[in-house]
Amino acid sequence: MVRRAAGRARGLDGRYVTDEPGLHLALGEAVDGPGGYFGGCLDALDDCLRGAFGHTAPATLLWRDSATAREHLSRVLAPDGRPYDLFAEVLDVLAEGGTRVTLA
Protein backbone atom coordinates (compact mmCIF):
# COMPACT_ATOMS: atom_id res chain seq x y z
CA MET A 1 0.00 0.00 0.00
CA VAL A 2 1.29 3.42 -0.93
CA ARG A 3 1.40 5.80 2.01
CA ARG A 4 0.14 9.26 1.25
CA ALA A 5 1.79 12.42 2.48
CA ALA A 6 0.74 13.75 5.86
CA GLY A 7 -1.70 16.62 5.75
CA ARG A 8 -3.47 15.40 2.63
CA ALA A 9 -7.11 16.49 2.42
CA ARG A 10 -9.68 13.88 1.49
CA GLY A 11 -13.38 14.13 0.73
CA LEU A 12 -16.08 11.75 1.90
CA ASP A 13 -19.36 11.65 -0.03
CA GLY A 14 -21.92 11.16 2.72
CA ARG A 15 -25.09 11.16 0.62
CA TYR A 16 -25.61 7.41 0.99
CA VAL A 17 -24.12 6.74 4.43
CA THR A 18 -27.17 5.26 6.12
CA ASP A 19 -25.70 2.15 7.77
CA GLU A 20 -22.37 0.89 9.11
CA PRO A 21 -21.29 -1.00 5.95
CA GLY A 22 -22.03 2.12 3.88
CA LEU A 23 -20.00 4.22 6.29
CA HIS A 24 -16.94 2.01 5.97
CA LEU A 25 -17.30 1.82 2.20
CA ALA A 26 -17.41 5.63 2.01
CA LEU A 27 -14.37 5.93 4.30
CA GLY A 28 -12.46 3.40 2.19
CA GLU A 29 -13.22 5.29 -0.99
CA ALA A 30 -12.31 8.61 0.60
CA VAL A 31 -8.89 7.29 1.60
CA ASP A 32 -8.04 4.77 -1.13
CA GLY A 33 -10.36 5.56 -4.04
CA PRO A 34 -13.12 3.38 -5.55
CA GLY A 35 -13.26 -0.02 -3.87
CA GLY A 36 -10.74 1.10 -1.25
CA TYR A 37 -10.66 -0.47 2.21
CA PHE A 38 -10.28 1.50 5.41
CA GLY A 39 -11.82 -0.73 8.05
CA GLY A 40 -15.10 -2.59 8.38
CA CYS A 41 -15.80 -1.82 12.05
CA LEU A 42 -14.51 0.64 14.66
CA ASP A 43 -11.61 -1.59 15.70
CA ALA A 44 -10.53 -2.09 12.08
CA LEU A 45 -10.82 1.66 11.42
CA ASP A 46 -8.58 2.28 14.42
CA ASP A 47 -6.07 -0.25 13.05
CA CYS A 48 -6.11 1.42 9.63
CA LEU A 49 -5.47 4.82 11.16
CA ARG A 50 -2.41 3.50 12.99
CA GLY A 51 -1.14 1.03 10.39
CA ALA A 52 0.16 1.06 6.83
CA PHE A 53 -3.18 1.33 5.04
CA GLY A 54 -2.55 4.46 2.97
CA HIS A 55 -3.16 6.91 5.82
CA THR A 56 -0.56 9.25 7.19
CA ALA A 57 -1.56 11.58 10.01
CA PRO A 58 -2.25 14.37 10.29
CA ALA A 59 -4.93 14.42 7.62
CA THR A 60 -8.13 16.33 6.94
CA LEU A 61 -11.42 14.76 5.94
CA LEU A 62 -14.17 16.91 4.43
CA TRP A 63 -17.35 14.93 5.14
CA ARG A 64 -19.96 16.30 2.73
CA ASP A 65 -23.65 15.60 3.47
CA SER A 66 -22.69 14.50 6.98
CA ALA A 67 -26.24 15.14 8.21
CA THR A 68 -27.36 11.96 6.44
CA ALA A 69 -24.94 9.84 8.46
CA ARG A 70 -25.70 11.70 11.68
CA GLU A 71 -29.42 11.02 11.19
CA HIS A 72 -28.97 7.30 10.52
CA LEU A 73 -25.99 6.42 12.71
CA SER A 74 -26.62 8.38 15.90
CA ARG A 75 -29.01 5.77 17.30
CA VAL A 76 -27.77 2.27 16.41
CA LEU A 77 -27.69 -0.93 18.43
CA ALA A 78 -24.57 -2.83 19.43
CA PRO A 79 -24.65 -6.64 19.06
CA ASP A 80 -25.61 -6.85 22.75
CA GLY A 81 -28.64 -4.60 22.12
CA ARG A 82 -27.12 -1.53 23.79
CA PRO A 83 -27.88 1.71 21.92
CA TYR A 84 -24.96 3.95 21.03
CA ASP A 85 -23.99 6.83 18.77
CA LEU A 86 -21.88 5.31 15.99
CA PHE A 87 -21.53 8.69 14.27
CA ALA A 88 -19.90 10.25 17.35
CA GLU A 89 -17.74 7.15 17.93
CA VAL A 90 -16.38 7.31 14.37
CA LEU A 91 -15.57 11.00 14.77
CA ASP A 92 -13.72 10.19 18.02
CA VAL A 93 -11.72 7.35 16.41
CA LEU A 94 -10.79 9.56 13.46
CA ALA A 95 -9.69 12.40 15.76
CA GLU A 96 -7.63 10.07 17.94
CA GLY A 97 -5.98 8.74 14.77
CA GLY A 98 -4.87 12.20 13.69
CA THR A 99 -7.64 13.05 11.24
CA ARG A 100 -9.33 16.43 11.47
CA VAL A 101 -12.92 16.12 10.24
CA THR A 102 -14.85 19.02 8.76
CA LEU A 103 -18.57 18.31 8.64
CA ALA A 104 -20.43 19.89 5.73
- In terms of Cα–Cα distance, which of 46, 73, 65 is closest to 103? 65
Q: Which residue has the higher pLDDT, 33 or 75?
A: 75
This prediction has a pTM of: 0.86
What is the rounded average pLDDT of the residues 83-95? 96
Full residue range of the structural domain in which residue 54 is found:
9-103
What's the domain count of the chain? Answer: 1
Q: How many Å apart are CA 27 and CA 86, to the nearest integer?
A: 14
> Does position 104 have pLDDT exceeding 70, yes or no?
yes
Tell me, rounded to whole angstroms, the distance of Cα 53 from its chain centroid.
13
64 falls within a domain: yes
Task: Summarize pLDDT for 37-80 with one digit per residue, the tens.
Answer: 889 999 999 988 887 665 667 789 999 999 999 999 999 998 89
4 falls within a domain: no
- DSSP structure class, residue 78: -
Identify the CATH number of the domain in which residue 78 sits: 3.30.370.10
76 falls within a domain: yes
The SS3 assignment for 10 reads: strand
1 falls within a domain: no
Helices (H), 1-104: 20-32, 42-50, 66-73, 86-96
Which residues 6+ apart lie within 8 Å of 2 measured at CB?
54
